[in-house]
Structure 1
Amino acid sequence: MVVVPGRRPERRETKPAERSIPGLAVRKAAAKLLGAVVDAKTPLDGLTDHEHGHPVFLALDQRDRALVRAILATALRYRGTIDRLISSRLEKPLPPNAHALSHVLHVAAAQILFLDVPDSAAVDLAVTHANSDPRTKRFAGLVNAVLRGLSRDKTSALPARLAEGHEAPEWFRDRLAAAYGPAKAGAILAAHRIEAPVDFTVKSDPQKWATALGGMVLPTGSVRVERLAAPVAELPGFEEGEWWVQDAAAALPARMLGSLAGRKVADLCAAPGGKTAQLVLAGAEVTAIDTSANRLKRLNENLARLRLQAKVIEADVSKYEAGEAFDAVLLDAPCSSTGTVRRHPDIPWTKSSEDVARLAALQARLLQAATRLVRPGGRIVFSNCSLDPVEGELLLAEFLAENPHMVVESVRPGEIAGADCFITPRGAIRTTPADLDLGRPEISGLDGFFAVRLLRLH
């Protein structure tokens, strides 16, 4: 029987100084950062940023950082399954305050169950980790027994636990089911288990770049690569500015503005600039506005690499006043980002229903501001990467009720290549990770997006 919390673990001989144990720093960093995500609701991207990330992450070399990210992404992507497998091997639940112990177990279990790491190494490092921390030292025997049990039984136990589903927290599952029904919600959650492929928007000749990058051309015109052969900056065409990374769903809103040659267009909340680049490439005279100086720096860098030019302004979109009304406005608004869980598996664990409501209120204010920037007869495309109707369909209904001078201009079948299946009854665009079935889960799906085209009547 597995050792349970509260029992004295067997004594273990002390090992050499921690810094001399290969791999221990990586596992300790992964557990610490997992705690920051799950307990403190800290976004994973910030923790693992190569310039401003957490100190324990920055202390590692590039190879070890990559392993930390792989461990964390896996531990979060399969958190429900890992938790069920660990719990099934305990006589009683872990103490409510045993957060550090839980993170040690989850980090090791992610390696044993899903990563190409020798099971013995994952177990030994986890036990050493537990022994090195006063909060977990007395549970080192439990760590050893649980993880060895997982290693021994994973071939038979893992498929059954995976079939139970439920990787995401309850608040997230409930909202998906309410919005899409149990079957579609289940398909979305299943898609979240699969690491997303990488999509590229290309300046021209998609087939050429699909061949060069080792991918395929999607029905929407984006180029998709299942797994990159090298870091993005080392791929052919990067230095020449021939393409940029942009999910196929994220590439749709800019195309909803139609012909833009010679038109004055405002791109609100523009950074990091993928949609700005699309608008410039379409021939528009673009003003890109964002409130973040750091994000605008990245936007400028991206435009420079792409050899594209736009007027860039640092300003609060909700307060910005243009000297002259724009012909069109694109507002890709800040949101809960629940449509991007395939790429950011921490989101269900760092966000909440309260965040959805708060961000929907912000989006409503920004959309209202956008109406002041567009001329009568001009278009607004409002979009975000949320799966939640509160940030999409319901927000739109409330906005239209309060703004009779704005109407939906429906996306017409055949207007945007490959997008007919995403058009809603109201003429908006709605995508989910369960859409775009290309035969294999690894190359299928796209980010969850909502986008609607509005026309200002007067």
Structure 2
Amino acid sequence: MKPSRFAPPTEVPGLATRRIAADILDGVLHKRRMLDDQLDGAAAHPGLKTLSDRDRALMRRLVATILRRLGTLGHVLSRLLDKGIPTDAPRAQSALLIGAAQILWMDVPDHAAVDLSVRLVQADRRAAKYAGLVNAVLRRCAREAQPLINEVESQSLDVPPWMLTRWIAHYGEDTAKAIVRAISHEPPLDLTVKTDAVHWASRLQGEALPTGTVRTLLHGPITMLPGFAEGQWWVQDAAAALPATLFGDINGKSIADLCAAPGGKTAQLAQAGARVTAIDRSPARVARLRDNLTRLSLDATAIVADAVEWPGETFDGVLIDAPCAATGTIRRHPDVAWLKQEADISALAALQRRLLQKAVALLKPGGTLVYCTCSLEPEEGEHAIDALLASDSGMRRAPVEASEVGGLTEVISRQGDVRTLPCHLPHSDPRLAGMDGFYAARLIKA
């Protein structure tokens, strides 16, 4: 049997992990491929199968760290390179980023980070000539980088300028910079539990948040944690868990969940006793939703359809988790910062308007509509709801009370909508702080 080209038997330990990290990083930065698509599912990098759980986790953390601190890394490396980062050999660029990220922010010995990055470029025909350069620059990085980081710490380089400009305009400079600082940290593991958050927080060595989410730090595969196999909880950011709770008592009521996959909110609605119809246009994502519901022993009707075109019945409630620019999720999906463009927002806003109109048509008189997006952009949140209310006199806003969101008054807007930010939920341990940026509004049909 021929040895795998991803893990030759004589390969230096750790090199395969860095090579796969370099491949995936190249996929994001040069081929505009989403990080999640390269980590899971049919299009995942084939070399992942050769890695142990520990190495796979290291590789994910390495790529995520680079993407979270890409602007700062670019600044540091540009100051250490006389002629800039080589552009004719992508592997050399990746090797520099991988080595520097390990030296600056990860618990990897400097000599190992340098050696493995040099070996990465030596193994690539186009990049091999840069082996000496990579070695010299990374050794300088270990000695000289911290002052270079300090000199740009206040400049918020780790998101694209267009994104920072928008956040400053909408939230103010101080809050915008607090958002950037928050998304530079690796996020904790948030879980929505079926019952008894305090009990599961204790079992999982975490804590129960005021909103009912259990927050902990991940050590090892998620599937090995207590309660996973028994279907006692599912992974869901604390902010993402709020919209489904805004319906109140839905036991026995019919709820449509539009754009439902992967199904966290569907599970919440089903657990609350609703008769849920979950709709998503992606067959693969609906299959994943069904698998999740099976593990959780929860029932919902899952339909593969375009929600805008779906000729459905009417419901007591409709939840829209609309497709969006996802800028509120950068702390968990750091590739979003570098894959999204400002032009995407207007196109997505048009889709969100169509989904809102469809949701109103699916709603019974007196029914409740909850609209949410994981975006920090006002066009995809506040502006969308303002436009709907201005055009449809049959809909009215039902303001959310702080008591409905765990007493977190800071996440309630002046209009009574929910607006969470990555810098919310501060904690003495930064590893346990923050939440995704979400917008949610609750409307009632006359």
How high is the TM-score relative to the length of structure 2?
A: 0.93
5 Å matches for 1:43-58? 43-49=34-40, 51-58=42-49
5 Å matches for 1:27-426? 27-49=18-40, 51-94=42-85, 96-154=87-145, 156-225=147-216, 227-322=217-312, 324-426=313-415
**1:354 aligned counterpart, secondary structure:** helix
- Contact 2:86-2:92 at 8 Å conserved across structures: no
**1:395 aligned counterpart, secondary structure:** helix
Amino acid at match of 2:225: L
Structure 1, unaligned stretches of length 5 or more? 1-16
- Contact 2:267-2:298 at 8 Å conserved across structures: yes
Shift of 1:315: 1.3
* Match of residue 13 from structure 1: none
Structure 1 pair 191–316 and aligned structure 2 pair: CA distance change class (3 A): same
Structure-2 separation of matches of 1:413 and 1:95 = 52
Q: 1:439 aligns with which of 428, 437, 443?
A: 428
Amino acid at match of 2:142: S
Aligned-pair RMSD on alpha carbons?
Answer: 2.0
Structure 1 pair 18–38 and aligned structure 2 pair: CA distance change class (3 A): farther
Structure 1 pair 79–453 and aligned structure 2 pair: CA distance change class (3 A): same
**1:436 aligned counterpart, secondary structure:** coil
CA distances 1:267-291 after superposition (whole Å, capped 9, x unpaired): 1111111111111122211111111
Shift of 1:161: 4.5
CA distances 1:276-335 after superposition (whole Å, capped 9, x unpaired): 11111222111111112211111112112222111222211001112x310110111111
Further displaced range: 394-403 or 81-90: 394-403
Structure-2 separation of matches of 1:258 and 1:112 = 49
**2:80 aligned counterpart, secondary structure:** coil
Structure 1 pair 412–343 and aligned structure 2 pair: CA distance change class (3 A): same
Structure 1 pair 96–238 and aligned structure 2 pair: CA distance change class (3 A): closer
Structure-2 separation of matches of 1:21 and 1:281 = 49
Shift of 1:152: 2.1
Structure-1 separation of matches of 2:132 and 2:361 = 65
Shift of 1:108: 1.2
Further displaced range: 130-139 or 49-58: 49-58
Amino acid at match of 2:330: V
CA distances 1:171-201 after superposition (whole Å, capped 9, x unpaired): 2222222221111010000001111111111
Structure 1 pair 402–445 and aligned structure 2 pair: CA distance change class (3 A): same
Structure-2 separation of matches of 1:65 and 1:208 = 30
Tell me which structure has the larger Cα radius of gyration: 1
Amino acid at match of 2:204: L
**1:228 aligned counterpart, secondary structure:** coil
Structure-2 separation of matches of 1:248 and 1:33 = 28
**2:247 aligned counterpart, secondary structure:** coil
Amino acid at match of 1:275: K
- Contact 1:19-1:25 at 8 Å conserved across structures: no
**2:432 aligned counterpart, secondary structure:** coil
Shift of 1:336: 1.4
* Match of residue 3 from structure 1: none
Q: 1:26 aligns with which of 2, 11, 17?
A: 17
Shift of 1:52: 3.1
Amino acid at match of 1:407: R
Structure-2 separation of matches of 1:26 and 1:251 = 34
Structure 1 pair 400–97 and aligned structure 2 pair: CA distance change class (3 A): farther
Amino acid at match of 2:30: D
Amino acid at match of 2:81: L
**1:317 aligned counterpart, secondary structure:** coil
Structure 1 pair 217–62 and aligned structure 2 pair: CA distance change class (3 A): closer
- Contact 2:53-2:221 at 8 Å conserved across structures: no
* Match of residue 6 from structure 1: none
Structure 1 pair 66–50 and aligned structure 2 pair: CA distance change class (3 A): farther
Structure-1 separation of matches of 2:403 and 2:152 = 43
Amino acid at match of 2:291: E
CA distances 1:197-244 after superposition (whole Å, capped 9, x unpaired): 11111111111111111111111111111x124422212222222211
Amino acid at match of 1:397: D
**2:416 aligned counterpart, secondary structure:** coil
Amino acid at match of 1:78: R
- Contact 1:207-1:216 at 8 Å conserved across structures: yes
**1:42 aligned counterpart, secondary structure:** coil
Amino acid at match of 1:266: A
Structure-1 separation of matches of 2:272 and 2:9 = 56
- Contact 1:41-1:351 at 8 Å conserved across structures: no
**1:189 aligned counterpart, secondary structure:** helix
- Contact 1:409-1:427 at 8 Å conserved across structures: yes
Structure-1 separation of matches of 2:355 and 2:126 = 46
How high is the TM-score relative to the length of structure 1?
A: 0.91
Structure-2 separation of matches of 1:364 and 1:18 = 55
**2:328 aligned counterpart, secondary structure:** helix
Structure 1 pair 229–136 and aligned structure 2 pair: CA distance change class (3 A): closer
Structure 2, unaligned stretches of length 5 or more? 1-7
* Match of residue 11 from structure 1: none
- Contact 1:195-1:442 at 8 Å conserved across structures: yes
The answer to whether the aligner puts 1:452 opposite 2:404 as a matched pair is no
- Contact 2:204-2:225 at 8 Å conserved across structures: yes
